[in-house]
Chains A and B, each alone.
Chain A
Amino acid sequence: MEIKKLAVCGKGGVGKTTFSSVLSYVLARKGREVFAIDADPNPTLAEALGIPDHILADITPIAEMTELIAERTGARPGEYGSFFKLNPRVKDIPDRYAIRYRDIHFLMMGATKKAGQGCACPENTMIKALMSYLIVKEKETVVLDMVAGTEHMGRGTAASVDVMLIVVEPGTRSIKAAKQFHRFARDLAISKICFVANKVRSEKDELFIKKQMLGLDLVGSLPYSDSIIEGERGGIAIYDSDSEYREEVSRILERIGVR
């Protein structure tokens, strides 16, 4: 089966967004139509993709499209308790609202209110339905930059994720968090769960991670690179700023079975 739905998660600041951006470009370079989805409430994927500020300024996150949400769910964000449709029509949204930049289709989900499980507010409903659609129904490749990987995703949707890539860095905290995400992902019955080491500065770092990840599917280690940080400052796509990183991403894709 062809791997098309890739979810990237991991502890805050480990490099999920950096990795997702490069992953998206590498997949696009292979000739795929790629939807890069920023599902982080604190969105930075657009910058990592090198989308220039003037385009960025025009992007409205889906969660903030009040009129659209009201039209599709029958309730306005912020209206609590009224009845609304839990299965809004979202089919047309990826094509209509995604920003096309270089070969990437970019969608920003935006911040939904932090709420307990089972909270069905119009904007949450909309995002959930859209995520579900992108993962289950979308024909093209989808790369998701997420926080924990489980928000907005129920078992029904998770079943269609082809691979979940959990990013770790050489530090006990990120590894501990990664193992927790692993448990979550397994509970959601995600079929393929892999780990990617990032910010690896030395052999020692790599050895440490390998030792910690014993028995788990570690599919690659991305080097720590000053040029990434420099490129970030210059506002250029991370894909363009470091070739070593880029090549390791290609190898990771090969290892998980993407052709």
Chain B
Amino acid sequence: MVEVVDRSCSKFSRIKGTRIWILVICLVFNTLALNAHVLDELSVKTRLFVKQEGIDFKLELAPGVLIAEPFLKILDPRQTKEISESGRSAFLNHVIRHMVVLVNHNEVSPDCGFTEIPAISELITGVGTIYLDCRIDGPIPKHAGYDFEYRNSLESGVALYSLHISSDRENQVFITEEERDEITQDSIRFSVKHGFEPGDVGHVWQADLLSSQSPVSNSLGDRISDLAGMKSLLRILKMDRFSPAEMALLLVLAAAAGFLHAFTPGHGKALVGAYLVANRGSVVQAVQLGLIVTLTHTASIYLFGGLSLTATYLFLPSRVIPVLTVASGLLVIAIGLYSLIRRGLKLEVDHAHLLPNFQVFGKGNVNILIDGNAAEATEYFSLAAESESVLYSLAAAGAEDITICSTGCDTHHKHWLRILDENQQLGMLKKAVRTGAVDAFVSRDRSRREKIGDLLRKKGGEVFQPPMETDSAERLLVKIVGRFNRKRTVNLPGNEMTWRHLFSLGFAGGVVPCPDALAILLIAVSMAQILSGLMVVFAFSVGLSLALMLTGVLVVSMGNLTIYSRAAGKITTVVPYLTSLFLTGLGCYIVFNAF
């Protein structure tokens, strides 16, 4: 797929249009290429050209940002930021060592030299390509055949190989047979014939006819097709200065690229989603989370970009990024475990369906908290609340109204987590009491009255047994209202989804700089286009965060759909555990993926 698109791009590039349009087309059609993290790989491209005088090998080595380090160690062992002569020959030896060439089953060593070697800064940022030219001399005798074998094992763990083979057909050099490893593309065996024999026509190897006749091209189009998607953005940035219109378009494209890029694994969507589900976040929070991620991400790219440029060898992206990834993974694990443990212990009572809305308590009201087991009392209280004696005492105490409150549905008690839910209910009650707004707690359960009692009395309230009929409810209400103190300190917290939570998660989601974005900045800086680099990175981050916000908003709105049914109500009691577990798992995934 990617390959097909690449070709379409290079075709377009031949039409001499604005490079921006090429970029548009590449970005629009290359969303798949965006998913392929070309920057994590080493591309090893070999073009074999068989001539009468021997074989030309043209090698293109393009290390991605995360794997440039081994190359740098060879090319610049003393970290001088310059490629020394000894570095060059060491590198050539390194490459030759990993190549095997057999001519008629005898091993031969090719002659190699650099045609182009990029600057260290380009290699560090993962946009430099090393071009090598190798040769095997030795004319192919007329009317005779040769067998060749070629194998490359350079950085075989991370490399993606490709092989192109063609022959000098004008001088009657033909490839008559070809056999290669179609999957790895790292080895090929072929036979060559020189000279035309009428009987051979039918045997001319078809693949030869299909192979590219044109020499290796360094055209803009080729480069773009080479490095589709994000890399093409880099390439474009590298070209030269832009008109304001081009710059604007570039920014839009960078945002689009960031948006699409967010949907590749490991960009915090799952994180955002899980968190919002677990905490039943709102749309506003989804947006806030997206913003925090954007800011963190942009800042972290700027920071690491700056570090990489000032202390190149201390902050090699290829070293820093895995470390950062592990760190953020550990942070996510910590958040996941922390919330899992808190939920397990029922310390966290504000999960999913249990966001307490303390706003029902009024400061000027007499607030009575009723335990689920005393539901009967509610009716007596409600009726008694309208009796004259109670209304009279309300007026005398200067209270506005009586609010009878409960923590709600008892389904928890029939739940399989019964004992734990007992703690949870208690936690909710205590939270309510801590607001200082509760004037009385009514429960049938003595141990509950005791558990709540001390805390409540500190806040000026009292615990009571439920009344058994309206008259005693009336007397009790008069008593409770009589104790009411208008001046008690009440602190009714709003939504409990804290900035602390939101921030730690947004930070974890954004702290690992996306290598692609980091590379954009680094190359822009190395090309002395600092401002455009900063702007493109910002636009990229904005696109990324838009995608996160979108995910968040979708998650939130879906959450709202499901929460309005009782069955879903039960599910939502389990979901937070799952999401905590999921967060932990996700953290592990991030950590292990970093290696």
Residues of A near any B CB (own CB < 8 A): 73-75, 77-87, 113, 115-121, 128-129, 132, 136-137, 154-157, 159
Establish whether residues B386 and A85, one from each chain, have CB atoms under 8 Å apart when the complex forms.
no
Establish whether residues B411 and A119, one from each chain, have CB atoms under 8 Å apart when the complex forms.
yes
Establish whether residues A78 and B563, one from each chain, have CB atoms under 8 Å apart when the complex forms.
yes
Establish whether residues B408 and A82, one from each chain, have CB atoms under 8 Å apart when the complex forms.
yes
Tell me the bound Cα distance from A80 to B409 in angstroms: 6
What are some 15 contacts across the A-B interface (CB < 8 A)? A74-B360, A75-B357, A75-B360, A81-B412, A82-B354, A82-B408, A85-B360, A87-B403, A115-B411, A120-B375, A120-B406, A121-B408, A154-B378, A156-B382, A156-B469
Establish whether residues A121 and B361, one from each chain, have CB atoms under 8 Å apart when the complex forms.
no
Tell me the bound Cα distance from A113 to B409 in angstroms: 11
Residues of B within 8 A of A81 (CB): 353-354, 407-409, 412, 428
Establish whether residues A78 and B569, one from each chain, have CB atoms under 8 Å apart when the complex forms.
yes
The residue of chain A having its C-beta at the shortest distance from the C-beta of B383 within the complex is A156
Is B358 in contact with chain A by the CB < 8 A criterion? Answer: yes
Is B402 in contact with chain A by the CB < 8 A criterion? Answer: yes
The residue of chain A having its C-beta at the shortest distance from the C-beta of B349 within the complex is A81
Establish whether residues A120 and B360, one from each chain, have CB atoms under 8 Å apart when the complex forms.
no
Establish whether residues A86 and B370, one from each chain, have CB atoms under 8 Å apart when the complex forms.
yes
Is B379 in contact with chain A by the CB < 8 A criterion? Answer: yes
Select which of A74, A80, A83, A157 is within 8 A of B379 by beta carbon: A157
Establish whether residues A87 and B402, one from each chain, have CB atoms under 8 Å apart when the complex forms.
yes
Is B455 in contact with chain A by the CB < 8 A criterion? Answer: no
Is B150 in contact with chain A by the CB < 8 A criterion? Answer: no
Interface residues of B in 424-438 (CB under 8 A from A): 428, 432
CB B381 to nearest CB in A, in angstroms, measures 7
Residues of A within 8 A of B403 (CB): 85, 87
Establish whether residues B409 and A119, one from each chain, have CB atoms under 8 Å apart when the complex forms.
yes
Residues of A within 8 A of B386 (CB): 137
Size bin of chain B's contact surface: 35 or more
Residues of B near any A CB (own CB < 8 A): 353-361, 370, 372-373, 375-376, 378-383, 385-386, 402-412, 414, 428, 432, 469-470, 473, 563-566, 569
Establish whether residues A84 and B569, one from each chain, have CB atoms under 8 Å apart when the complex forms.
no
Given contacts A82-B354, A119-B411, contact A132 B406 (CB under 8 A): no
Residues of A within 8 A of B370 (CB): 86
Residue from A79, A113, A156, A157 with most neighbouring chain B CB atoms (10 Å): A156
Establish whether residues B409 and A121, one from each chain, have CB atoms under 8 Å apart when the complex forms.
yes
CB B373 to nearest CB in A, in angstroms, measures 7
Tell me the bound Cα distance from A159 to B381 in angstroms: 15
Tell me the bound Cα distance from A116 to B376 in angstroms: 13
Select which of A85, A113, A154 is within 8 A of B376 by beta carbon: A154
Tell me the bound Cα distance from A117 to B359 in angstroms: 26
The residue of chain A having its C-beta at the shortest distance from the C-beta of B370 within the complex is A86
Query: What are the 6 A-B residue pairs with the smallest beta carbon separation, nearest first?
Result: A74-B360, A78-B564, A154-B379, A118-B375, A87-B382, A156-B379
Tell me the bound Cα distance from A132 to B361 in angstroms: 22
Establish whether residues A83 and B409, one from each chain, have CB atoms under 8 Å apart when the complex forms.
no
Residue from B357, B358, B408, B563 with most neighbouring chain A CB atoms (10 Å): B408
CB B490 to nearest CB in A, in angstroms, measures 14
CB B417 to nearest CB in A, in angstroms, measures 13
Residues of B within 8 A of A84 (CB): 357, 360, 405-406, 408
CB A140 to nearest CB in B, in angstroms, measures 17
Establish whether residues A86 and B353, one from each chain, have CB atoms under 8 Å apart when the complex forms.
no
Tell me the bound Cα distance from A192 to B564 in angstroms: 40
CB A251 to nearest CB in B, in angstroms, measures 34
Tell me the bound Cα distance from A87 to B366 in angstroms: 12
Given contacts A115-B411, A118-B410, contact A87 B357 (CB under 8 A): no
Tell me the bound Cα distance from A154 to B564 in angstroms: 27
The residue of chain A having its C-beta at the shortest distance from the C-beta of B372 within the complex is A118
Given contacts A113-B566, A155-B469, contact A85 B408 (CB under 8 A): no
Select which of B356, B379, B404, B564 is within 8 A of A82 by beta carbon: B356
Residue from A77, A81, A121 with most neighbouring chain B CB atoms (10 Å): A81
CB A102 to nearest CB in B, in angstroms, measures 31
CB A121 to nearest CB in B, in angstroms, measures 5
Residues of A within 8 A of B356 (CB): 82-83
